[in-house]
Amino acid sequence: MLQIAVEAADAKGGEDLVALDVSQPLPLVDIFLLVTGRSERNVAAIADEIEDRMVEAGYKRLRREGRTEARWVLLDFGDLVVHVFHEQERVFYGLERLWKDCPVVPFDLPEPASPTA
């Protein structure tokens, strides 16, 4: 699940991706994925791409919040909750500080496409 969401966020220009294992303090969720977008339009595009790819892979979205304003979009897929933030909201709410005791979950970012000569 995490890898699908990471690749989708990266495909739409998501930045500063961080995955946190929140399974200890939150027994109903395993991982928070935090992503930053540069504008409301970018935040919406990232969230839409993640949702589309997750549904395509067979995962059901349980809840979505914040899509209208596109400043902080929350996508809940059960074990994985994705937070797509506008830059200013990411700094203001500081979820990394709030969940600083939770371990970081490693993931692989796709390799950038090499330009053709």
Dump pLDDT digits (tens) for 79-102. Answer: 999 999 999 999 999 999 999 999
Which residues does 90 contact at the CB level (< 8 Å), separation at least 6? Answer: 16, 34, 36
Answer positive or negative: Cα dihedral of 66, 100, 78, 2: positive
The CATH code for residues 2-98 is: 3.30.460.10
The strand pairing partners of 19, in sequence order, are 33
The strand pairing partners of 34, in sequence order, are 18, 83
pLDDT reported for residue 102: 94
| Domains of the chain, residue spans | 2-98
* Amino acid residing at 17: L
Dump pLDDT digits (tens) for 31-84. Answer: 999 999 999 999 999 999 999 999 999 999 999 999 999 999 999 999 999 999
Can you give the pTM of this predicted structure? Answer: 0.91
